[in-house]
Structure 1
């Protein structure tokens, strides 16, 4: 493949509807990519979930972004609490077109077309109850405080102010 370069990548799954039933039309769709910053994703999702009009949000990712999407969902569930979740796992098909590179191409080969299947995930979080019989459903977690040994954990705000400064 060192003699070829990728010309374009097309997503065969673009325009497909979300794999969930009974979602509201005003659902917020978050596309998580490999380079997305978790802090930015959580901030945007929190602002929408805490507003009165929005009750549902969908996180979708494929490839290396799947773990980042799951991390965002778990953080959001802990910060807001009482969220119902439905998870759908599937494959996403991408088609890549490669052509031969270099100025001295003696025998121009036809373009190569490669189809790749990537694992993908779609996670629906909702404030309103969802169908518990739907495949991939998780009820809200009860977040009772758990004391682990003798350790006490400070909130992030208290940790920042509690740090000692070195004196010179």
Structure 2
């Protein structure tokens, strides 16, 4: 028991040491980066298609949804493409799900990729060299289409609403049921057999008919 408790104490002490070391490293990095400033790069002008919607973390969800539905319904577009990077990916997925609920016959094709972005930091103080830091940012592209795309695509999802075929019944094989006669109905034969030499009040009726009522 003492050996087990000693090993637990060693593990806890090692974790505390690692956490303290990480804090010290982050503090030193922040102090070092205070001597640098980030160089703002001009964003390249990439043409955006009419059916392409680029989603950011600052944009409002309802604005994206209203614009996307207007492209599909009012302008009768066949497909729209939702694109996002980094922290806006989860927001883009939620927007796509809301659009599919409003327009349930849409096909979805999702593609995930990454892009490398290099940030340049210039020193504020003399005697320091510029620093370049490369980071990899995830990207997502969701295509919502009224027509069926390639089903073999890894990111393909069928529409949530699929019209089920109506069951067809073969009426020729079904024979109509014979209607049951009323419990007090009298066959025609009883009228024929009732005619003859009968006497009394039961004249004209057979036995078992209304005569015994």
- Number of residue-to-residue matches in the alignment: 131
Choose between structure 1 and 2: higher helix proportion.
2
Query: Counterpart of 1:8 in 2: which secondary structure?
Result: coil
Report the counterpart of residue 106 of structure 1 in structure 2.
Answer: 126
Q: Secondary structure at the match of 1:87?
A: strand
Give the Cα–Cα distance (whole angstroms) in 2 for the partners of residues 66 and 11 of structure 1: 20
**Relative to 1, partners in 2 of residues 1:79 and 1:110: Cα closer, same or farther, differing over 3 Å?**
same
**Higher relative contact order structure (alpha carbons within 8 Å, sequence separation ≥ 6):** 1
Task: State the secondary structure of the residue aligned to 1:40.
Answer: helix
RMSD over equivalenced CA pairs, Å:
2.6
**Does the CA-based 8 Å contact 1:87-1:137 persist in structure 2?**
yes
1:28 aligns with 2:51: yes
Asked whether the 8 Å contact 1:58–1:122 carries over to 2, the reply is: yes
Change (3 A) 1:139 1:70: same
Q: In 2, are the aligned partners of 1:32 and 1:61 still within 8 Å (CA)?
A: yes
Q: Which has the larger radius of gyration?
A: 2
Judge conservation of contact 1:83–1:126 (CA < 8 Å) in 2: yes
Q: Do the aligned partners of residues 136 and 11 (structure 1) sit closer, same or farther apart at CA in structure 2, a change above 3 Å counting?
A: farther
Shift of 1:10: 6.8
Is residue 3 of structure 1 aligned with residue 31 of structure 2?
no
Report the secondary structure of 1:45's partner residue. helix
The unaligned stretches of length 5 or more in structure 1 are 16-25, 145-168
How many angstroms apart in 1 are the aligned matches of 2:41 and 2:160?
Answer: 40
TM-score by length of 2: 0.55
Greater Cα shift, 81-90 or 48-57: 48-57
Whether 2:70 is the aligned partner of 1:50: answer no
Which of the pair is proportionally richer in strand?
1
Note if 1:89 corresponds to 2:112: yes
Which 10-residue stretch deviates more, 119-128 or 90-99?
90-99
Residue 63 (structure 2) aligns with: 40
Residue matched to 1:65: 88
